Chains A and B, each alone.
Chain A
Amino acid sequence: MNEAILMSASGADIDFMIHGLYKLNIFGQDVWITTSHVCIVVVMLVLLVFAFAANRALAHAKEVPGTFQNLVELVVELLDGIVESNMGSHAKPFANYICTIFAFILFSNISGLFGLRPPTADYGTTFALGIITFVLIHVTKWKNQSFKTIWTDMCSPLPPWFPLWLPINLISEVAVPISLSLRLFANVLSGTVMMALVYGLLAKIAYVWPALLHAYFDIFSGAIQTYVFCMLTMTYIKQSFGDEE
């Protein structure tokens, strides 16, 4: 299977698939540049422009903040507050990462409003995010806990000299990034499919009222899933610090 999943089949006027735009050939392997890549680049450009504008605004920060400076401070304080209230004293090193994925996932989910296909409706994107979280969890774990604690934890319901439960705990470790990424992916994909069905099958009467569906699927659901992804990431990372506190 050289093409991305969900790419091969598409209906006549119902269109929610990922399309291949340009085929690269890297080491004899077909690699497609798809619509997801393009949408990711658009989202990243928007975020970059916002970041540069915010940087400029804060470099010339005034005593009485203007509108834009106010907005930036509001957003950053809000996100920092969320991280702080969830991770307590561990918040500092992770605040930047959490805020970054929050902004990225939020903008990706909302990009469905602007006619893009949300990049998070591609399993490649969300799985990458899940893998990053997985690596963070385990780096934190091995840095902060001794091998003995981790081993005891892994054999958890049974005593550490009898690792019968080890495989099951290992599976539940591996399930973390998969369930994290599948949750985000399936939510955004279901919204995308639903909107495509409305516009494809009800094209004759699809005026004005799909705006309500957009408000639910793109804004409400997108924001909730963003929050949930960041929340779960923070919870897992906090857990991996062990029970020192």
Chain B
Amino acid sequence: MSISGEDLILACSAIGAGLAVIAGIGPGIGQGIAAGYGASAVGRNPGAQGKIMSTMLLGQAVAETTGLYGLLVAMLLLFVKPLLG
């Protein structure tokens, strides 16, 4: 069985996509930290729960962006196959 250039590119694209979604680790840690501090903030000041909640969600959504960039790169590699030319 011989491996053509196209096969090699597809295989490497799949590996690259797998590596790209490792970007998800960062936002996971970040969102966890945000949620933890949010919980402790609610514990200290239960009256401000609504405001804490919306601030936390906003921060988490912004932190999520980097992970989503990784996801996008993975999607492009897998489905659009830009390297095949």
Q: How many residues of B contact A (CB 8 A)?
A: 15
In the complex, are the beta carbons of B64 and A190 less than 8 A apart?
Answer: no
| Cα distance A228–B64 in the bound complex, in angstroms | 11
In the complex, are the beta carbons of B68 and A186 less than 8 A apart?
Answer: yes
Partner of B65, one of A183, A193, A227: A183
Taking CB atoms, residues of chain A closer than 8 Å to B80 are 5-6, 8-9
Assuming the contacts A224-B57, A228-B58, A231-B58, asked whether A9 and B68 have C-beta atoms less than 8 A apart, the reply is: no
Q: Does chain A have a CB within 8 A of B14?
A: no
Closest-by-CB residue of B relative to A231 is B58
Q: Does chain B have a CB within 8 A of A47?
A: no
In the complex, are the beta carbons of B79 and A190 less than 8 A apart?
Answer: no
Taking CB atoms, residues of chain A closer than 8 Å to B42 are none
Q: Does chain B have a CB within 8 A of A98?
A: no
In the complex, are the beta carbons of B81 and A182 less than 8 A apart?
Answer: no
| Per-residue interface assignment for chain A, residues 156 to 185, with 1 indicating a CB less than 8 Å from any chain B CB and 0 otherwise | 000000000000000000000001001100
In the complex, are the beta carbons of A9 and B61 less than 8 A apart?
Answer: no
Q: Does chain A have a CB within 8 A of B83?
A: no
Q: How many residues of A contact B (CB 8 A)?
A: 19
In the complex, are the beta carbons of B65 and A179 less than 8 A apart?
Answer: yes
Closest-by-CB residue of B relative to A180 is B65
| Per-residue interface assignment for chain B, residues 40 to 72, with 1 indicating a CB less than 8 Å from any chain A CB and 0 otherwise | 000000000000001001100110110011011
Q: Does chain A have a CB within 8 A of B34?
A: no
Assuming the contacts A227-B57, A228-B57, A228-B61, asked whether A9 and B81 have C-beta atoms less than 8 A apart, the reply is: yes
Q: Does chain A have a CB within 8 A of B75?
A: yes
Taking CB atoms, residues of chain B closer than 8 Å to A224 are 57, 61
| Cα distance A231–B61 in the bound complex, in angstroms | 11
Taking CB atoms, residues of chain B closer than 8 Å to A187 are 64, 68
| Cα distance A224–B69 in the bound complex, in angstroms | 18
Name B's A-contacting residues (CB within 8 A): 54, 57-58, 61-62, 64-65, 68-69, 71-72, 75, 79-81
* Inter-chain pairs besides A6-B80, A183-B61, A231-B54, 11 sampled, C-beta below 8 Å: A9-B80, A179-B65, A182-B72, A183-B62, A183-B64, A186-B72, A189-B72, A225-B61, A228-B58, A228-B61, A232-B58
Name A's B-contacting residues (CB within 8 A): 5-6, 8-9, 17, 179, 182-183, 186-187, 189-190, 193, 224-225, 227-228, 231-232
